């Protein structure tokens, strides 16, 4: 598994600790890209229900980090 796949596995894990560790390992630019992608996953059609739930979980956790 490459590092991008591993990062997404951690971000979408629904585990707050894993999400925080993965997110905090990113650069500021990467954090913005990941957060934007998570918002699309949570809000756009075409994503599986479980993916949406995972994205929403990550957004909630990340929002707690950044605010």
pTM: 0.90
Per-residue pLDDT at 66: 65
Residue whose token pair is 């809000």:
43
Instruction: Give the DSSP H or E segment for 8.
Output: helix 3-11
* Contact between 40 and 13 (Cβ < 8 Å): no
Series of mean pLDDT values for 10-residue runs along the chain (67 residues): 89 97 95 97 96 97 81
Please answer whether residues 10 and 18 qualify as being in contact, where contact means their C-beta atoms are separated by less than 8 angstroms.
yes
């Amino acid at each position: 598994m490459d590092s991008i796949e591993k990062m997404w596995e951690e971000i979408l894990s629904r585990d707050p600790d894993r999400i925080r560790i993965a997110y905090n390992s990113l650069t500021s630019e990467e954090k913005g890209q990941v957060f934007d992608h998570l918002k699309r996953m949570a809000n756009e059609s075409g994503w599986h229900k479980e993916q949406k739930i995972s994205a929403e979980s990550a957004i909630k956790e990340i929002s707690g980090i950044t605010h």
